[in-house]
């Protein structure tokens, strides 16, 4: 009996070990889950969204690996993102904090914001007013303006449209100098333009090295509005944003 018991525990331990290695492998080379803790990407991403990021979209770097070990530099099977991609990256200032923003500038692009209007290579990016939008769940309830913005096409990729928010066109980052994106870097911005620390904050985020890209946001697999406490099981179904589950990130 003792041998059988010992063998049973050993087999269970092996199963757990194999499952752990498979999970690590999937997180490293395929998909990794992330959650959204702040409102910088509203309306595209809401606080409490849980999403999968594809690790293979831009190739692999040390940022793709758990704990970002300094095993190698550059990217393996690397490719540049497209303007409009929503990407997770490691914050350049510490190399460990995960951030998620929209890529609006590629290497060599000239990026500027003037009176709230994004300009890429000297041309204003078209935006269409869609009406008022009420922001909830990320501080005080606030009504701002909703726009649809259309970025210029990337090489081999069509022009993409997405929604952005503007509280005003005269905020701290609504009038910037012109930034020239260095080689092997990208310029990122939050869709909630007046509530986002992004590449416009040169002393905090700045240009993001391509090597720091973790992957591209693909789809939301769960969304929680935070209205129910963990012990209020009867309220859980009403706190889930069912309409957002399995929606793609655009």
User: At 13, phi and psi to the nearest 5?
Assistant: -65, -40
Mean pLDDT, residues 27-52 taken together = 90
Per-domain boundaries in the chain: 2-244
Active site residue 4: no
Of 80, 78, 118, the closest CA to residue 199 belongs to 118
Burial of 90 (0-12, 13-18, 19+ CB in 10 A): buried
pLDDT digits (tens, 9 = 90+) for 235-244: 999 999 999 9
Catalytic residue, candidates 54, 64, 90, 101: 101
* pLDDT value of position 140: 76
d(CA 135, CA 143): 6
pLDDT at 4 over 70: no
Prediction pTM value: 0.88
* pLDDT value of position 46: 96
Which CATH superfamily includes the segment(s) 2-244?
Umud Fragment, subunit A (2.10.109.10)
d(CA 34, CA 86): 13
Active site residue 6: no
pLDDT at 100 over 90: yes
Mean pLDDT of the chain: 90
Catalytic residue, candidates 40, 54, 154, 199: 40
d(CA 22, CA 6): 24
* pLDDT value of position 8: 72
pLDDT digits (tens, 9 = 90+) for 123-155: 999 999 999 999 986 667 889 999 999 999 998
């Amino acid at each position: 009996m003792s041998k059988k018991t010992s063998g049973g525990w050993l087999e269970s331990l092996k199963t757990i070990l194999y499952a752990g290695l498979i999970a690590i492998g999937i997180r490293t080379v395929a998909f990794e889950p992330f959650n959204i803790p702040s409102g910088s990407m509203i309306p595209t991403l809401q606080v409490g969204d849980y999403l999968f990021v594809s690790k293979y979209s831009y190739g692999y770097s040390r940022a793709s690996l758990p704990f970002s070990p300094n095993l190698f530099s550059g990217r393996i099977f690397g490719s540049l993102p497209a303007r409009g991609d929503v990407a997770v990256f490691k914050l350049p200032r510490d190399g460990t904090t995960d951030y998620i923003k929209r890529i609006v500038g590629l290497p060599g692009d000239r990026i500027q914001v003037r009176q709230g209007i994004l300009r890429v290579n000297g041309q204003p990016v078209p935006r269409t007013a869609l009406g008022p939008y009420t922001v909830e769940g990320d501080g005080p309830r606030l009504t701002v303006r909703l726009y649809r913005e259309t970025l210029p096409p990337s090489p081999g990729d069509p022009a993409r449209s997405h929604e952005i928010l503007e509280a005003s066109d005269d905020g701290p980052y609504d009038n910037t100098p012109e930034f020239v994106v260095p080689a092997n870097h990208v310029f990122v911005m939050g869709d909630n333009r007046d509530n986002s620390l992004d590449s416009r904050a040169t002393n905090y985020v700045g240009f993001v090295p391509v090597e720091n890209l973790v992957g591209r946001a693909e789809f939301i697999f769960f969304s929680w509005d935070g209205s129910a406490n963990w012990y209020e099981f009867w309220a859980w179904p009403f706190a889930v944003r069912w309409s957002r589950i399995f929606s793609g990130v655009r």
